[in-house]
Amino acid sequence: QEVTLKLHQFLPAQANVPKLILDVWADGVEEASGGRIKVERYPSMQLGGTPPELIDQAIDGVADVVWTVVGYTPGRFPTTEVFELPFMVDDARAASCAYWKMFEEHMAEGEFRDVKILGTWVHGPGMFHTADPVETPGDLEGMKIRGGSRLVNKLLELTGATPVGMPVPAIPESLSKGVIDGTTIPWEVTAALKVPELVENHTEFTGTALYTLTFVLAMNKAKYDSLPDDLKAVVDSKSGLEFSIFAGGTQADADGPARQLALDAGNNIITVSEADAAQWLEVVQPIYADWVAEMNGRGTDGQALIDQARGLMGGECKGADARM
């Protein structure tokens, strides 16, 4: 082959995202290039460093392509947080579609100008997995909960819970030791972490999700620019809007089997109705206000971003779907 791309990410090779999304992308690129591109896959941070460094590894060329959680580097990509606001997203496909469109409009030449973004997506509904049942915001008071992002931590603080920061792989040990009383993650991640064996209660929401995290698949800019035009076209054909929708949808679809595992284990799944979610919405209002103020402080109209994201998710991106 002519070109080798080193794809680096933090999960084991057999986890859902590498297996169902990244491998599909990589195989697709290899095939469409007629064998001229080879994608070498390095799972579990094998190229060194810690997950928050992945984005810099793509920018600096330590890896050619990385998959990363945007929220691992708080403060650097503030616009993406519009999709991380609590009770914002109800469908991962529509949100991933809107995320790509807003990426092209606001972020490609802004926050992400140092890197070539190949895909932007969100995971399925984020939710609580706790030792004691959580139905109302008041139930969280005094609990130590691992939060997945800056905004989730704010939400936890507002409910009187104590947010604890730790990387995803540290969750099982901390749960089993009682260092934390619960964690926020989507269903899809719970199976690999044995969460249903460690806590008995799971709180999900009908309608909009408690929260979602944003992801990017990012490529080193110089590496992309060094490709001959036909290979650039190959990479482009496997990336972008369609791929983003596919990735978000695939990840959300992986929630089902993981949820079934918790049911099989005899766990208690609490589903908060849209009516009962009202008291949750009230609690998180300050987060919206703060976020808008923060964005305005950065010279960006925060409310306009929220409105645009909602408009896209309810409008042209509604019902979006794609297969690779």
Partner 1 sequence: MTDIQIGVLSFPALLLMIFLRVPIGLAMFLAGLAGLLIVTGDTTVPFARLKSETYTTFSNYSLSIVPMFLLMGHFATLGGMSQALFKAAEGWLGHRKGGVAMAAVGACAGFGAICGSSLATAATMSRVALPELRAYGYAGGFSTATLAAGGTLGILIPPSVVLVIYAILTEQNIAKLFLAAFIPGILAAIGYMIAIGIYVRLNPGSAGIRPRVSYGDRLRALLAVWPVLLVFGLVVGGIYGGWFTPTEGAAVGALGTGVIAWFAGGLTWATLGESFMVTARSSAMIFFIVLGAAFYNGFLALTQVPQEIAAWVVDQGLSPWLVLIFILAFYLVLGCLMDSLSMILLTIPIFWPVMLELDFGLVTMVELQTARLDALVASGAELSQAALDEARTALAAGVELTREQIRELGLRQVNQGALNRVNTEQVAIWFGILVLIVVEVGLITPPVGMNLFVINAMDRETPMVETYKAVLYFVASDLVRVALLVAFPVITLMFIPW
Partner 2 sequence: MHGFFVGLSRLMAYLGGAVLATLVVLTCLSIAGRSLNGLLHSDLAESVAPALAAALLDLGIGPVNGDFELVEAGMAFAIFAFLPLCQISGAHASVDIFTARLGRRANRVLLWISEMLFAGVLVLIAVQLGAGMMGKLRTGQTTFLLEFPVWWAYALSLSGAVSAAAVAVYMAAMRSVEMATGRDLLPHVQGAGH
Closest CA to 215 of 112, 305, 105, 300: 112
Q: What does 49 interact with, of partner 1, partner 2, none (CB < 5 to 8 A by kind)?
A: partner 1
Under the criterion CB under 8 A, does residue 248 sit at the interface with partner 2?
Answer: no
What interhelical angle do 92-102 and 241-253 show, nearest 10?
150
Closest CB to partner 1 among residues 35, 266: 266
Closest CA to 121 of 101, 95, 159, 148: 95
**Least Cβ distance, residue 318 to partner 1 (angstroms):** 37
Say how far apart CA 93 and CA 56 lie, in whole Å.
Answer: 27
Say how far apart CA 61 and CA 153 lie, in whole Å.
Answer: 32
How many C-beta atoms lie closer than 10 Å to residue 31's C-beta?
12
Closest CB to partner 1 among residues 47, 281: 47
The two tokens of residue 56 are 């810099």
46, 73, 267, 308: which one contacts partner 2 (CB under 8 A)?
73
Q: What does 28 interact with, of partner 2, partner 1, none (CB < 5 to 8 A by kind)?
A: none
Say how far apart CA 21 and CA 26 lie, in whole Å.
Answer: 9
| 34-42, 70-78, 95-103, 238-246 -> range binding partner 2 (CB under 8 A) | 70-78
Would residue 5 be called left, alpha or beta, if left means φ above 0 and alpha means ψ between -120 and 50 degrees? beta
Closest CB to partner 2 among residues 59, 309: 59
Q: What does 75 interact with, of partner 2, partner 1, none (CB < 5 to 8 A by kind)?
A: partner 2
Under the criterion CB under 8 A, does residue 166 sit at the interface with partner 2?
Answer: yes
Task: Give the side-chain half-sphere CA count within 13 A for 168.
Answer: 24
**Least Cβ distance, residue 46 to partner 1 (angstroms):** 4
**Least Cβ distance, residue 122 to partner 2 (angstroms):** 19
Closest CB to partner 2 among residues 59, 234: 59
19, 38, 45, 56: which one contacts partner 2 (CB under 8 A)?
56
Closest CB to partner 1 among residues 260, 279: 260
What residues line the site for partner 1 (CB under 8 A)?
Answer: 42, 46-50, 53, 56-57, 60-62, 169, 173-174, 176-179, 194, 197, 261, 264-266
What sign does the CA torsion over 194, 198, 199, 200 have? positive
How many C-beta atoms lie closer than 10 Å to residue 73's C-beta?
15
Closest CA to 10 of 62, 53, 59, 58: 53
44, 136, 162, 308: which one contacts partner 2 (CB under 8 A)?
162
| 121-129, 147-155, 238-246, 257-265 -> range binding partner 2 (CB under 8 A) | 147-155
Closest CB to partner 1 among residues 53, 242: 53
Q: What does 153 interact with, of partner 1, partner 2, none (CB < 5 to 8 A by kind)?
A: partner 2
Integer angstrom CA distances of residue 67 from 17, 97, 102, 198, 247: 9, 18, 19, 28, 12
Under the criterion CB under 8 A, does residue 75 sit at the interface with partner 2?
Answer: yes
Q: What part of residues 283-312 is at the interface with partner 2 (CB under 8 A)?
A: none
Closest CB to partner 2 among residues 147, 186: 147
Say how far apart CA 110 and CA 286 lie, in whole Å.
Answer: 27
Say how far apart CA 138 and CA 154 lie, in whole Å.
Answer: 15
Say how far apart CA 269 and CA 311 lie, in whole Å.
Answer: 32
Q: List contacts with partner 2 (CB under 8 A).
A: 56, 73-76, 141-142, 144, 147, 149-150, 153, 162-166
